[in-house]
Structure 1
């Protein structure tokens, strides 16, 4: 898996706008721990992971909004309502993810 911090550095050197998502708090069973990071480009590409599945997709969409608005946001992902639970996934918690836009 590509290191999102290294990718952030490279994206900024290339003059790209990106958003860095970092898990800052978890409750219950979550797929990733506090500190997990994912970098999101405007075209939807990612490096790293904050958990996968529907929750990660919600973070990707929130990151695009943060890039459009040019300000950070904390997004709460309730994995208790994740459709993956119906397919036997073991997640069942809530995580808060800080999303920070970077670049010009």
Structure 2
């Protein structure tokens, strides 16, 4: 997936309240073309994290994405958990020893 010294974004769930699809510490690696490895939960929230990851790859500025899964409950959406989570997104550049920050993704 990665070429040596290629920049990617690493997204990590750092806080969760209520029912969320993944636990604190879950990670996702985002490739510059939008592909990803791992998941932070799927759906619209994950799409927001992927967009933020692409921005982080481009500008190098880490950010936290607030994912509110309570908003769609009134729409009776299937698979909506109803919790809130914060996902920290940072840039990682290959070429050194070791992998992305925090180890493996699932």
TM interval, shorter chain, is 0.7 to 0.9
Unaligned runs of at least 5 residues, structure 1: 1-6
What is the aligned residue count?
Answer: 93
Per the alignment, residue 76 of structure 1 pairs with 66
Per the alignment, residue 39 of structure 1 pairs with 29
1:27-67: CA deviations, max 9, x gaps?
01100000000000110010001001111111000111111
How far 1:90 moved relative to its partner? 4.3
Give TM-score scaled by structure 2 length.
0.79
Cα RMSD over matched residues?
1.8
Match of 2:76 among 59, 79, 86: 86
Instruction: Return the structure number with greater helix share.
Output: 1
Is 60-69 or 23-32 further displaced after alignment? 60-69
